[in-house]
Amino acid sequence: MCIRKIAAVVSTLLFIVSLSTVQGLAKDKTEDKGMKKATFAGGCFWCIEPPFHRLEGVIDVYAGYTGGKTVNPTYDEVTSGRTGHLEAAQVIYDPAIVSYETLLETFWHNIDPTDDGGQFADRGSSYKTAIFYHDEEQRLLAEKSKKALAESGMLKKPIVTDIREAGEFYRAEEYHQDYYKKNPLHYNAYKKGSGRADYLERMWGQK
């Protein structure tokens, strides 16, 4: 039994190493093609994925966790508020087609940037909003867009959305990915019931 267990462990480790290598190669290939990353925390990641998916030039969007110290956190761990992570969406995009400014505008138009306790019905630190910049250009553009929104007169309270340097991004469990496609009825009911849909329609005329 011990030998079989050891063999199983070795086999699993080899698989993980192989998978990591493949993922690393895929990442390098994406970078070679000129694709870039943008990362946004806007409360429940179910509701942050769809707006970016609709943009031409966006290659993919992943739901995940970032901003904390826990390695490979689970959904339950993150929502407990003890990991320091926020629910977030990582956007892979072609800057030749869609600008980072457009991504920023999309982000602002899908959150309440004045809520310091979470987003809508989702309360707690893991649901706070933040922009995670991947380079100096993104940081400057994020700061500029935040200032412009604050001075626009659209909001009655100060913006509390953080602008932070991007760190490790951990993809969420598979059932969270593209949730709005997999479970559209529940997704739409949640978006409405949470108060997000009404807020976005009131603020930006979104349906």
How far is 185 from 195, CA to CA, in rounded Å? 16
Task: Work out the widest C-alpha separation in the chain, in whole angstroms.
Answer: 69
For residue 40, list its beta bridge partners.
Answer: 89, 131
Long-range contacts of 165-169 (CB under 8 A, 24+ apart): 165/132, 165/133, 165/139, 166/37, 166/39, 166/66, 166/132, 166/133, 166/134, 167/66, 167/67, 167/132, 168/66, 168/71, 169/39, 169/62, 169/64, 169/65, 169/66, 169/88, 169/90
Is 47 an active-site residue? no
Among residues 38, 41, 44, 78, the one annotated as catalytic is 44
Active site residues: 44
